Amino acid sequence: MRRILGYATALPVSVLLLAGAGAGAGVGAGAASASVPGDDGFTIKDPRITESSGLAASRAHPGIYWTHNDGDDGTYLYAVDGRTGETVARITYTGVGKPHDVEAVSVGADGHLYVGATGDNDEDEDHVWIYRLKEPSDLSDRTVAATEYHVAYEDGAHNAESLAVHPGTGRIYVITKDKDGGALYEAPEEPSPDGDNTLGKVADIDLWVTDAAFSPDGTRLAVRGDDGIMYTWKNGKPSHPRSLDVPKQKQGEAITFTTDGRTLLYGSEGRNSGVVARPAKAGAAIVDEADGLSGMRVTGVVIGVAAVVALLFGGGRMVCLRKRSNGRRGSAL
């Protein structure tokens, strides 16, 4: 069980005023910088894309977003222009078996695209699949050879719709989907195309997850379902979960960062599906109610910050009043 902790309720008015000023400055700075194509959202117009399940911002082609249909309609990836919503290329990847249930796409640190055929609704598969293919330098309909990896969870079968490749280390991560919360798993540092690769559990994820994405600098991990969580990413693990402002969508599925890391794009299934943009800013902290120590630590930090700010902004007045009071008592004697 988790709850959202709003820091602002514990802070004095002076801090809120300063925070408001700082936030305004940040917004102004962001508005003044160059925008990234698609960072205000777009509509996927290709009639062949009826169940956009994954979304990934291209690094080789700024403003292009890779997507695919859910399920097993073929080994296809679509390059969609964020300026127009039109498909500019369809890639057919070969050298792999018939995809069982394609759920996610991610861009790796090595200039390759990674596709996760990780869906397993009945949780009865002894392994699932990840495909790796070179991102084309030229955007046109073409065929690209892919490498197929068999992956299996260390603790048995799971259903998963999320695949995220870290932009710095190139490590592949999968998040399982469960109504009671999923878990984050990592693939071997160098997966092998021969035999199974074991996915090792890294951390629990307290969310029904349909997709996930790393920020371009690799310091944040965003996960989404109907709700969302932004994690700080450090030393190969997620921490400090904070809430995300996930838009209401008919069947929300995908998430990706824009290439500048300022915006999160949320995708949905359906024909002419809309990709909705939201600032990539986390909200209130999320605290596990069962973890009393965590709650105490967070509360303690908030109280400590409030005390320091009170001393800084109100200390001078307190000392002044005390001196005046002492002076009045001295004159009465």
Residue pLDDT, tens place only, 1-22 = 454 554 433 334 333 333 333 3
- In the prediction, which pLDDT does 180 show? 86
Nearest to 279 by CA among 29, 16, 48: 29
Please state, for a pLDDT cut of 90, what percent of the chain lies above it.
67
- In the prediction, which pLDDT does 293 show? 36
Question: Angle CA(218)–CA(93)–CA(67) in degrees, nearest 5?
Answer: 50
The count of domains in the chain is 2
- In the prediction, which pLDDT does 1 show? 47
- Whether 93 is covered by a domain: the verdict is yes
| Distance from C-alpha of 162 to C-alpha of 176, rounded to nearest angstrom | 7
| Distance from C-alpha of 174 to C-alpha of 56, rounded to nearest angstrom | 15
Total-model pTM: 0.80
Q: Give the tens place of pLDDT for each residue, 232-263.
A: 999 999 999 999 999 999 899 999 999 999 99
- Whether 148 is covered by a domain: the verdict is yes
- Whether 103 is covered by a domain: the verdict is yes
Together in a domain, 321 and 221: no
| Distance from C-alpha of 51 to C-alpha of 152, rounded to nearest angstrom | 26
Which is it for strands 160-165 and 172-176: parallel, antiparallel or unpaired?
antiparallel
What values do phi and psi take at 118, rounded to 5?
-110, 0
What values do phi and psi take at 75, rounded to 5?
-90, 70
Q: By residue range, what is the domain housing residue 315? A: 291-333
Together in a domain, 256 and 322: no
- Whether 11 is covered by a domain: the verdict is no
Give me 37's structure tokens: 């194509």
Q: Within 10 Å of residue 260's Cβ, how many Cβ atoms?
A: 17
Can you list the alpha helix ranges (DSSP code H) found in the chain?
Answer: 13-32, 292-332
Q: Which residue has the tokens 């050879």?
A: 145
Together in a domain, 177 and 76: yes
Together in a domain, 60 and 108: yes
Query: How far is residue 17 from each of residues 298, 308, 311, 327, measured CA to CA in Å?
Result: 22, 16, 16, 34
Together in a domain, 325 and 208: no
Q: Give the tens place of pLDDT for each residue, 42-92.
A: 999 999 999 999 999 999 999 999 999 997 788 999 999 999 999 999 999
- In the prediction, which pLDDT does 289 show? 54
